[in-house]
């Protein structure tokens, strides 16, 4: 499970924008966001870099990060 959808919403960023930055299709990013498909580890790092966050923020709730 990932938190891509929640992080995008918190940052006010659209899935379409992320798809363009990732050079991926919108349906792929949408599947990631809906947890219908999990991104590769490489893609998780790329998403984190683009969103300027730690990878852990995509995987666990902020309250759980110590």
Q: Which residue, among 52, 53, 55, 60, has the nearest Cα to 39 in the 3D structure?
A: 55
Rounded to an integer, what distance in angstroms lies between the CA atom of residue 2 and that of residue 32?
Answer: 8
Q: pTM for the complete prediction?
A: 0.86
Domains of the chain: 4-58 (1.10.260.40)
Q: Which residue has 């891509």 as its token pair? A: 4
| Cα separation, 18 vs 65, whole angstroms | 24
- pLDDT single digits (tens) 31-40: 999 999 999 9
Residues 9-36: tens digit of each pLDDT? 999 999 999 999 999 999 999 999 999 9
């Amino acid at each position: 499970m990932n938190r891509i959808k929640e992080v995008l919403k918190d940052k006010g960023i659209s899935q379409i924008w992320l798809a363009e930055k990732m050079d991926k299709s919108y349906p792929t990013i949408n599947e990631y966001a809906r947890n219908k498909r999990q991104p590769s580890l490489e893609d998780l790092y790329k998403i984190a870099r683009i969103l300027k966050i730690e990878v852990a923020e995509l995987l666990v709730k902020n309250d759980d990060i110590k």
